[in-house]
Amino acid sequence: MEVILKEDVINLGHRGDVVKVADGYGRNYLLPRKLALQATENNKAVIEQMKAAAARRAATEKAQAEELAVKLEPLALCFTRKAGDQGHLFGSVTSADIAAELAGQGFEIDRRKIALNEPLKSLGEFTVPIRLFREVTARVKVKVQAEAAEEAEAEQPASAEPAAEEPAAG
């Protein structure tokens, strides 16, 4: 069975492609989910119009993605987490954390576009790719620091205050 894809389908093709699929796959999966149309002459004409509109839309989306990539490249995100002696984190830095930090800086990016194979579980600097469009990928620097330095600073003034109060009370 020949079908015309209305949406991108993983491992099959992109929007507007005419592909040959098994009858059952087309009838039971692609057509009911409106992912494809049967390849008739009328549908091919409709799809040509959809392809032209999609090409224009893709060109503007790609241009926007490239602009965003230029803005993201100089960014350096910094995360502070509790860490052990060998530099392993007790938690981790996930793509959701990175997306939240980017949102805090004014960039609305879906966490699924952040191409983090596995969460960051150690201290250091990492370069994290963000897939903004098919051929557009931005790279953001992520620095993970230990929280121990901040705790030491917080403990010093806290221990000095009780010592100051004791002589005043006595």
Which CATH number does the domain 2-63 belong to among 3.40.50.2300, 3.40.50.720, 3.40.5.10, 3.50.50.60? 3.40.5.10
Find the radius of gyration of the CA atoms of the chain: 26
Q: How confident is the model at residue 60 (pLDDT cuts 50, 70, 90)?
A: very high
Return the top range by mean pLDDT from 5-9, 24-28, 90-94, 151-155: 24-28
Mean of pLDDT values over 31-35 = 91
Task: Write out pLDDT tens, residues 74-88.
Answer: 989 999 988 888 888
User: What's the rounded Cα separation, in Å, for the pair 124 and 121?
Assistant: 10
| pTM (global) more than 0.75 | no
Coil, helix or strand at residue 170:
coil
Mean of pLDDT values over 127-135 = 89
Domain ranges of the chain: 2-63, 70-147
CATH architecture, domain 70-147 = Roll (3.10)
- The pLDDT of residue 127: 92
> Contact at 8 Å (CB) between 4 and 50?
no
Strands 76-81 and 137-146: parallel
- Alpha helices (H) in 6-147, listed in sequence order: 23-25, 41-72, 95-104
User: What's the rounded Cα separation, in Å, for the pair 100 and 107?
Assistant: 9
